[in-house]
Amino acid sequence: MPLLEVQGLSKHFGGLVANDRIDLRVDKGEIVGLIGPNGAGKTTLFNCIAGFYPPTAGNVQFKGEDITGLPANEICLRGIARTFQIVRIFKDMSVLDNVMVGAFSRTNSAARAKQKALEVLDFCGLAAKKSLLAGGLTIADKKRLELTKALATEPSLLMLDEAIAGLNQTETAEAVELVKKVRETGITVLLVEHVMEVVMPISSRVVVLEYGKKIAEDIPEKVIHNEGVIKAYLGDKYHASRRAH
């Protein structure tokens, strides 16, 4: 049984078809990369799975249960945590308090939430910054905090929406290490990225969207050689230069 199974999911905004009958499955323990050019519908698909938009058609199954159209908070409690492309941290709260908010999804006790938050902060390498105000962190640390908060909800599936985009090389390498570490703890990861160098080495499978449709799904080695993907995603220029070799 797949951990997450999306069947025929469509999302229309008025006349715009953001997602068109998308099928997607994620098995336990995988890191699945979801890629595609700007406006391909990656974030919309994320929002439909995580309960932020009700899908127009299709259904989403998680651990064998139908979760289509459930509210976001309910989906989080069932074990899907997501981060946002534009971080949604609580900037007037301390780093520790931010993570505690996530930890409270599994406990009513402040002491236990704090203990859990400290563990997760330590795991993510933010322990030294726990007393700082979240609003004062660097972009890289804000993205890291966004991931830490999500991990504190003890998810079985973590969905990262461009958690790495916009970071410099060192920060990117650190973030990739963190995602790998998360997977090693048994958490399945669904990753939206447009940085190919990030997605390719860590994903066990890559799904490619274009204009709201799924155009390819394969292991990374095969996806990068897929003519349709090269044309659609990497552009004609890259396509042409490959031909020249």
Partner 1 sequence: MGGNKRKWIWLVIGAILCLVFPLFLTLPFPRHLMIMIFLYASLGLAWNMIGGYAGQISLGHAIFFGAGAYTSTLMLMKLGVSPWVGMLVGGILSVGIAFIIGYPCFKLAGHYFAIATIAIGEIAQQWMLNWDWAGSAVGLTLPILPESLINLEFHTTKAPYYYIAFGIFILAILATYGVDRSKLGYYFKAIKGDLEGARSLGINVSKYKFYALALSAFFTSICGSFYAQYVLFIDPDSVFPLMLSIIVCLVATLGGVGTVWGPVIGAFILIPISEFTRIQFGGGGKGTDLIIYGFLIMVISIYQPFGVIGISKRFKKKEPA
Binding site for partner 1 (CB under 8 A): 50, 52, 71-74, 76-77, 81-84, 88-93, 97, 100-102, 104-105, 108, 110, 113, 130-131, 149-150, 152-153
| Contact call for residues 50 and 222 (beta carbons, < 8 A) | no
Three-state DSSP state, 219: coil
| Contact call for residues 115 and 57 (beta carbons, < 8 A) | no
Q: How far is the CB of 61 from partner 1 (least distance, A)?
A: 20
**Residue count of the chain:** 245
Please state, in angstroms and rounded to a whole number, the distance separating the CA atoms of residues 245 and 230.
15
Q: How far is the CB of 162 from partner 1 (least distance, A)?
A: 15
Q: How far is the CB of 244 from partner 1 (least distance, A)?
A: 46
Task: At 89, list the tokens.
Answer: 């941290």
Residue with smaller CB distance to partner 1, 151 or 232:
151
Residue with smaller CB distance to partner 1, 92 or 197:
92
The residue ranges of DSSP E strands in the chain, in sequence order, are 4-13, 16-26, 31-35, 57-62, 65-66, 80-82, 157-161, 188-192, 205-210, 213-218
Residue with smaller CB distance to partner 1, 36 or 102:
102
Q: How far is the CB of 153 from partner 1 (least distance, A)?
A: 6
Residue with smaller CB distance to partner 1, 60 or 232:
60
